[in-house]
Copies of this chain bind each other. A is one copy, B any other.
């Protein structure tokens, strides 16, 4: 049983079942490529999973309540464009610009998430469709606002934070890790988190227990939108551009990380630690398969196969650990 209440260390280990598959992957790549465990490559992997991880943390909330958010990639692009416009405003000091951009990106993402949440919760509509609508709206808006032009030339201090290292670890990855920790705490130690799980499990029972289900659902989507905003800032800092066509298909990667991590698409079961491992699986796979020199097409096929094998492995581990 993938318990919803990940309290003890043991239950974290259990939740994080996909860890075995990750371990095997890492083991394999370490043997297959001399570069895989080099400090440089580890830095690469950490940097590369950062954005997906940030998006996946927000996505975990939405999937836990039984929803889905297809718009995160587009919303990220929209938030990036807005933040990009803000950071290239003339006549302001660097610090102000950076703060303004961060705020603008965050608020833009948050508002998109809020809209997703309010519409799907108020009318009890399938979030798949509502966020598919938002996917189109946010992408169109990003293109419209930017005139389809890539925004560039950001203050140096801002770009620097994208490549800053702390104890040999990319700062942006630590940021993502902090988000994971916060999400874990919120989901497992607070009333709010408890009710997020409960709603995903049995919404009617929560409603009859007198809790404002509507607001919890809205909150989950808003959190997801806000993480898309944060991802946008990280994206900008890392690549020094704000592109209106960034993030196409990112939603699938984020959802995949969450589900590979053992969270149920039906809601109510899963953990953000699993999401962290899921994001690692995807990132390690993408990196390792290039290192061992597979051709592009083989790489794509093998990625598919490994993802499937990973969840099959997890199935057996879960079975073993439950008996």
Contact = CB atoms under 8 A, between A and B. Distances in A.
Interface of A: 70, 119, 123-126, 128-130, 132-141, 143-144, 148, 252, 255-256, 259-260, 264-266, 296-305, 307-308, 311-312, 315
A118 to B, nearest CB: 11
A308 B116 CA distance: 10
Contact of A311 (B125, B135, B255): B125
Contacts of A312: 119, 123, 125
B70 A129 contact: no
A10 B137 CA distance: 35
Contacts of A119: 308, 312
Contact of A297 (B123, B148, B308): B148
Contacts of A266: 266
A310 to B, nearest CB: 9
Given A126-B265, A308-B119, A312-B125, A297 B143 contact: yes
Given A126-B264, A126-B311, A141-B301, 18 more contacts: A70-B252, A119-B308, A125-B315, A126-B259, A128-B256, A128-B259, A128-B265, A129-B259, A129-B260, A130-B308, A136-B304, A136-B307, A137-B305, A138-B304, A140-B302, A143-B300, A144-B297, A148-B297
Nearest to A116: B308
A133 B308 contact: yes
Contacts of A298: 140, 144
Contact of A132 (B140, B148, B256): B256
B252 A143 contact: no
Interface SS of chain A: helix
Contacts of A307: 129, 132-133, 136
A102 to B, nearest CB: 25
Contacts of A132: 252, 256, 304, 307
Nearest to A314: B125
Contacts of A315: 123-125
Nearest to A136: B304
Contacts of A311: 123, 125-126, 129-130
A116 to B, nearest CB: 10
Contacts of A134: 304, 308
Most B CB contacts (10 A, CB to CB) among A128, A134, A256, A296 go to A128
9 contacts: A123-B312, A124-B315, A125-B311, A126-B259, A126-B311, A133-B307, A133-B308, A136-B300, A148-B297
Nearest to A303: B136
A129 B312 CA distance: 11
A296 B125 contact: no
Contact of A256 (B129, B252, B308): B129
A140 B308 contact: no
Contacts of A141: 297, 301
